[in-house]
Amino acid sequence: MTTPIRDRSAGRSLRQRLTLKHVLPLLLTGGCLFAHAQVNDVGQKPYLGWSSFSEQTINGSFLTQANISTQSDALASSGIQAHGFRYINIDSGWMGSFDGNGRPIPNTTTFPDIKALIDHIHQNGQKAGIYWIPGVEQPAVQANYPILGTQYHIQDILTVPYTAGNAFGGPGTSPYHYKIDFTKPGAQEYMNSVVALFASWGVDFIKLDGVTPGSYSDGLAIDNRLDVAAWSKAIAASGRPIWLTISWAIDQDYLADFQPYQNARRIEDDIECEGRCATLTDWQRIYQRFRDLPGWQNSASPSLGWNDMDSLDIGDGTLDGLTNNEKRTAVSLWAMANAPMYLGGDLTQIDSFGKQLVSNDEVVAVNQSAKPAKQVLGGDLPVWVSSLGNHTYYVALFNLNATPSVVHLPWNLLGVTGALQMRDLWSHQNLGPSALTYSTVLQGHDVRLLKVVTFGQSAPMPSTSYEAESAILGGSAVIADCTPCSGGEKVGGLGLGANNNVTFNNVYVRRAGVYLMQVDSMTQGLRSYLYNVNGGPFHTLNSGGGSFFIPASTIVPVQLQKGVNTIQFGNPTSYPPDLDRIVIRGNGDAPAPLATVYEAEAATLSGTVTAGFSNYSSGLSKAGNIGGGAGNAVTFSNVTVPSNGVYQLEVDYATSGPRSYFLTINDGTAQELDLNGSTFNEPTYTVLNVSLHAGTNTLRFDNSTGYAPDLDRIVVAPTIIGNH
Question: What is the rounded average pLDDT of the residues 649-667?
Answer: 97
DSSP string, 172-197: SSS-SEEPB-TTSTTHHHHHHHHHHH
pLDDT digits (tens, 9 = 90+) for 685-694: 999 999 999 9
Same domain, 524 and 629: no
Same domain, 151 and 111: yes
Q: What confidence tier does 9 reach under pLDDT thresholds 50, 70, 90? A: very low
DSSP string, 9-24: --S--HHHHHHHHHHH
Cα–Cα dist 588/563, whole Å: 12
Q: Which amino acid is at 653?
A: Y
Same domain, 221 and 161: yes
Cα–Cα dist 206/115, whole Å: 15
Cα–Cα dist 661/708, whole Å: 5
Cα–Cα dist 32/40, whole Å: 17
Same domain, 551 and 681: no
pLDDT recorded at residue 39: 65
- Side-chain half-sphere exposure of 261, counting CA atoms within 13 A: 25
Q: Domain containing 54: what range?
A: 35-273
Q: What confidence tier does 38 reach under pLDDT thresholds 50, 70, 90? A: confident
What torsion do the CA atoms of 411, 412, 413, 416 make, to the nearest 10 degrees?
70
In a domain, 343, yes or no: no
Start-to-end CA span in the chain (Å):
38
Quick count: other Cβ atoms within 10 Å of Cβ 15? 10
- Angle formed at CA 506 by CA 504 and CA 509, multiple of 5 degrees: 115
pLDDT recorded at residue 724: 45
Say whether 8 sits in a helix, a strand or coil: coil
Cα–Cα dist 444/465, whole Å: 34
Same domain, 128 and 231: yes
In a domain, 675, yes or no: yes
**Domain containing 526 — which CATH number?**
2.60.120.260
pLDDT recorded at residue 169: 86
pLDDT recorded at residue 453: 98
Distances 720 to 379, 443, 648, 689 between C-alpha atoms, Å:
20, 9, 9, 12
Same domain, 555 and 668: no
Helical residues (DSSP H) of 125-269, grouped into ranges: 138-143, 187-201, 225-238, 255-258
Q: Which of 711, 688, 679 is nearest to 321 (CA)?
A: 679
Q: Which of 377, 359, 363 is nearest to 423 (CA)?
A: 363
- SS3 helix, strand, coil % of the chain, rounded to 5? 25, 35, 40
Cα–Cα dist 121/126, whole Å: 5
Examine the pLDDT at 15 and tell me if it is beyond 60.
Answer: no
Cβ–Cβ under 8 Å, residues 210 and 134: yes
Q: 620 φ, ψ to 5°?
A: 60, 30
- Of 455, 471, 494, the residue at which a domain comes to its end is 455
My answer on whether omega of the bond before 161 falls inside 30° of 0, hence cis, is: yes
Cβ–Cβ under 8 Å, residues 249 and 214: yes
For strands 405-410 and 437-442, give the pairing: antiparallel
**Domain containing 413 — which CATH number?**
2.60.40.1180
User: Which residue did the predictor score with more confidence, 39 or 441?
Assistant: 441
pLDDT recorded at residue 434: 97
Same domain, 445 and 467: no
Q: Which of 284, 269, 317 is nearest to 654 (CA)?
A: 284
- Angle formed at CA 378 by CA 274 and CA 482, multiple of 5 degrees: 90
In a domain, 25, yes or no: no
Cα–Cα dist 573/495, whole Å: 7
pLDDT digits (tens, 9 = 90+) for 556-601: 999 999 999 999 999 999 999 999 999 999 999 999 999 999 999 9
- Of 253, 273, 293, the residue at which a domain comes to its end is 273
pLDDT recorded at residue 37: 75
Cα–Cα dist 150/193, whole Å: 10
DSSP string, 594-627: S-EEEEGGGSEE-TT-EEEE-TTSGGGEEEE--B
> Domains in the chain: how many in total?
4
Please count the residues of the chain: 724
Say whether 531 sits in a helix, a strand or coil: strand
Same domain, 629 and 650: yes
Say whether 146 sits in a helix, a strand or coil: strand
pTM, entire model: 0.94
Quick count: other Cβ atoms within 10 Å of Cβ 75? 25
In a domain, 344, yes or no: no
Cα–Cα dist 551/579, whole Å: 8
- Of 544, 561, 585, the residue at which a domain comes to its end is 585
| Averaged pLDDT score across all residues of the chain | 93
In a domain, 180, yes or no: yes
In a domain, 153, yes or no: yes
Same domain, 443 and 555: no
Cα–Cα dist 19/183, whole Å: 19
In a domain, 308, yes or no: no
Examine the pLDDT at 25 and tell me if it is beyond 60.
Answer: no
Same domain, 560 and 699: no
pLDDT recorded at residue 260: 94
pLDDT digits (tens, 9 = 90+) for 434-489: 999 999 999 999 999 999 999 999 999 999 999 999 999 999 999 999 999 999 99
Residue % of the chain over a pLDDT of 90: 91
For strands 513-524 and 546-560, give the pairing: antiparallel
pLDDT digits (tens, 9 = 90+) for 306-353: 999 999 999 999 999 999 999 999 999 999 999 999 999 999 999 999
Same domain, 398 and 519: no
Q: What confidence tier does 173 reach under pLDDT thresholds 50, 70, 90? A: confident
Same domain, 90 and 174: yes
pLDDT recorded at residue 11: 31
Cβ–Cβ under 8 Å, residues 214 and 255: no
Q: What confidence tier does 40 reach under pLDDT thresholds 50, 70, 90? A: confident
- φ/ψ bin of 83: left (φ > 0), alpha (ψ from -120 to 50), beta (otherwise): alpha
